Structure 1
Amino acid sequence: MDAQPTGSTNHGFSFEAFSAGLLAAFVGFASSFAVIIQGLTAMGASQREAASGLMALSIGMGLCAIFLSFRTKQPISIAWSTPGAALLAASAAPAGGFATAVGAFLVSSLLIVIAGLWKPLGRAVASIPAPLANAMLAGVLLGLCLAPVKAVAASPAFGLAIVVTWALVARWRRLYAVPAAVLVTVGIIAATADVGHLDMASLWPRPVLVVPHFSLPAMIGIALPLFIVTMASQNIPGIAVLNVNGYRPDPGPLFSITGLFSLASAPFGGHAVNLAAITAALCAGHDAHPDPARRYWAAAVSGIFYVLFGLAAGAATAFVSAAPPILIQAVAGLALLGALGSAMLGAVGDQKDREAAIITFIVTASGVSFFGISGAFWGLLAGGAIYALARWRRAHRV
């Protein structure tokens, strides 16, 4: 394990950091931008609003990474909430459309700020039983992860081309598997879609300010699950990755600052900016530089490239809109398979909590909605009731 980088004074830029930062940004953007677009569209966003949201997220997380890395001199990698986007994609559009979703984004971001400033809320999120949080996430991801199979059934040639590319590249280097599948999908779209009639003006992203609308069902069914998923699946694991590599930042300020950047991006359609987990390992590990004190440059470089990729959000969204939806869903599903596997393993690993986790998973995956509130909330509520009942029975047996 690397030592905490406090004694070194050599904080210069390096080629290793540049390479690691570029790789982290490319993998982070290419592997999951389709999930982001899918989630925003499911919430009722138009093509222009989805492009604005993708741009706001990419620029927001880039600026946040640059700010935090230089401020702390630690490789604080930032990402958008891919599990959060999957939650949105699996939920029905709220009454009131995208404006109501943006209101929920703002509330979720505010909760993240408060969780960083007010320790009891942060502890409350951390105290949510891991099996239930993982089961809820697995239920959210299941629908999207079925998309590759449905794509093969609906369009065997194109679906198989995407899936086989992903499988072959994964055998060589799993990190590049989803970006390779994205490139194949881009080739298919370019060869088959009527891209010649794309509105050229739409290729350059323009920020679209959405006036938020607030409703209680959206607060309960979107904002609260989005907050829980982002904290449990992104922020807390992000801190763990930094700790494993020898860095010990104070989590509270990091949560609050990412929440502030989320608040800034929400009016333009961004759902959540948070600590990175997977790409954090690229910037915090030995490949970013042998000297731990110089690795913060890798996270800063990734931030610079995220900002640049944000300028391509319009083209990415327009291209996705020209494709058959099932192909985009297939790429999104492949990007989430690893997260689904980890969530399912975490959900059923402890036998005594397995029943509660399964209930959470089933109710969430069913997609049921009551009173305009999405299944993720009801899944967590149902699983929590079974979890509490099991704890009560065990306590009274003793």
Structure 2
Amino acid sequence: MTEAEPSPSLLQPIVAGVLSAVVGFASTFAIVLHGYTVVGATPAQAAGGLLMLCLAQGALAIWLSTRWRMPITLAWSTPGSALLAATGALQGGFAAATGAFLVAAALIVVAGLWRPFGRAVAAIPTALASAMLAGILFEICLAPVRASAAMPGLALPVILAWALAWRFARLYAVPVAVLAAAIMVLVATPLPPGMALSITWPEFIWPQFSLGAAIGLGVPLFLVTMASQNVPGLAVMHAHGYRPDPGPIFTLTGLASAAIAFFGAHAVNLAAITAALCAGKDSHPDPAKRWVASVAGGVGYWVLGLGAGIAAAFIAAAPPLVIQTVAGLALLATLGGALTSAASEERNRLPAMLTFVTTASGLSIMGIGAAFWGLVAGGALMLLDRARA
């Protein structure tokens, strides 16, 4: 930049940050609310959980970015929400799910404070972690196909809108699908009176702890959050020249996740996709000023969180298959990446596929869900192969 050129305005990173919040919220809020509902939350509890996620990740993004002068962008665990939807109702209801949320949060804190544990988690073979994630996502990614057969009049316009947006503006494909779904629901479904004026505040939920929920939901939630959000989030930061210390980030996000778990919210973590909007050169030519984008994104999530009650009421009024269609479309790219990573190494391909099919089967033994048993099955086959070698 020459002296004659004007300095770029701080409006540029502010716009980038607000855009990251809007895209992140619009692309995945339906997945979050659907996951909470499946594990037993009422619409009010689901809305309260979504609000607490927005408040927590916004506050942490503002504080960390201001303190470190880096674009530290946070998000909720979208794969974790898909895990909730795949796990289904727990014995003990939503209170048991909040107990599992606390278990996952505690493990994230331990990973941040105790480096050997963090390294041990990172040492879980990528093929198995990716295969477990693919198995979690598989069922919900079938929803667009099933909805096309069950209610083509509602589902096909949503899929068409998503496909056209994916062709011409991929970043906005899922928000466009959400908008299309909203239009179809407004046309076909009567909505609750006064929905536009409703604001739902968080509801305190006293957690219940059980071994089945802790192992079947808490541990897999921790693993998918670390493997599918925190690790890729760090990679995005590194790719743009930022080297934050992961220990404090994991510790703080784990503590925040523990606090909001009492209000029915699951994990907050580093963002991956939306992080690139804040950390990239489109945010600001000067890397030292891109932290402003993450601060603006944090404020954006606070504002969007106030609409959580409206979103939950809308989701409750809409046909479930339509919401699942949007969620499935939003997760297709993640499913493709997980399957590619799972099958990339020939030696680990069969254990990874065993993990995938076991997780996708929905198997439950002793109250422990399929995601855990998928890792056990694939890990056992991998160990057997190593022992033979």
Q: TM-score, normalised by structure 2?
A: 0.97
Structure-2 separation of matches of 1:41 and 1:196: 18
- For 1:381, the equivalent position in structure 2 comes to 376
Structure-1 separation of matches of 2:102 and 2:9: 36
The amino acid of 2:261's aligned partner reads: A
Counterpart contact for 1:13–1:294, Cα < 8 Å: no
Q: How does 1:64-75 map to 2 (within 5 A)?
A: 64-75=60-71
Counterpart contact for 2:192–2:317, Cα < 8 Å: no
The amino acid of 1:14's aligned partner reads: L
- For 2:129, the equivalent position in structure 1 comes to 133
More displaced stretch, 13-22 vs 267-276 = 13-22
SS at match of 2:47: helix
Counterpart contact for 1:366–1:375, Cα < 8 Å: yes
**Alpha-carbon distance, 1:92 to partner:** 2.2
- For 2:388, the equivalent position in structure 1 comes to 393
Structure-2 separation of matches of 1:389 and 1:26: 47
Q: How does 1:24-39 map to 2 (within 5 A)?
A: 24-39=20-35
Structure-1 separation of matches of 2:86 and 2:193: 30
**Alpha-carbon distance, 1:236 to partner:** 0.7
Structure-2 separation of matches of 1:12 and 1:217: 54
Q: Does 1:311 align with 2:306?
A: yes
**Alpha-carbon distance, 1:22 to partner:** 1.0
The runs of 5 or more residues in structure 1 that have no matched partner are 1-10
Aligned counterpart in structure 1 of residue 184 of structure 2, from 176, 184, 188: 188
Q: How does 1:314-325 map to 2 (within 5 A)?
A: 314-325=309-320
Structure-1 separation of matches of 2:195 and 2:176: 27
Structure-2 separation of matches of 1:313 and 1:177: 21
Counterpart contact for 2:17–2:297, Cα < 8 Å: yes
- For 1:281, the equivalent position in structure 2 comes to 276
The amino acid of 1:166's aligned partner reads: W
Structure-1 separation of matches of 2:67 and 2:89: 39
- For 1:79, the equivalent position in structure 2 comes to 75
Structure 1 segments (4+ residues) deviating >6 Å = none
**Alpha-carbon distance, 1:196 to partner:** 4.5
Q: Does 1:239 align with 2:234?
A: yes
Structure-2 separation of matches of 1:196 and 1:89: 25
- For 1:96, the equivalent position in structure 2 comes to 92
Aligned counterpart in structure 1 of residue 118 of structure 2, from 118, 122, 126: 122
SS at match of 2:87: coil
Q: Does 1:349 align with 2:349?
A: no
Q: TM-score, normalised by structure 1?
A: 0.94
**Alpha-carbon distance, 1:93 to partner:** 1.4
The runs of 5 or more residues in structure 2 that have no matched partner are 1-6
- For 2:3, the equivalent position in structure 1 comes to none
**Alpha-carbon distance, 1:59 to partner:** 1.1
How many residue pairs are counted as aligned between the two chains? 383
State the identity as a percent. Answer: 54
- For 2:253, the equivalent position in structure 1 comes to 258
Counterpart contact for 2:77–2:225, Cα < 8 Å: yes
Q: Residues 348, 232 of structure 1: CA spacing in aligned structure 2 closer, same or farther, 3 A cutoff?
A: same
Counterpart contact for 1:198–1:318, Cα < 8 Å: no
Q: Does 1:174 align with 2:187?
A: no
Q: Does 1:294 align with 2:289?
A: yes
Deviations 1:199-236 (A, max 9, x none): 677x2021100000111111100100000000000001
- For 1:204, the equivalent position in structure 2 comes to 199
Counterpart contact for 1:235–1:276, Cα < 8 Å: yes
SS at match of 2:146: helix
Counterpart contact for 1:12–1:294, Cα < 8 Å: no
The amino acid of 2:90's aligned partner reads: P
The amino acid of 1:172's aligned partner reads: F
- For 2:221, the equivalent position in structure 1 comes to 226
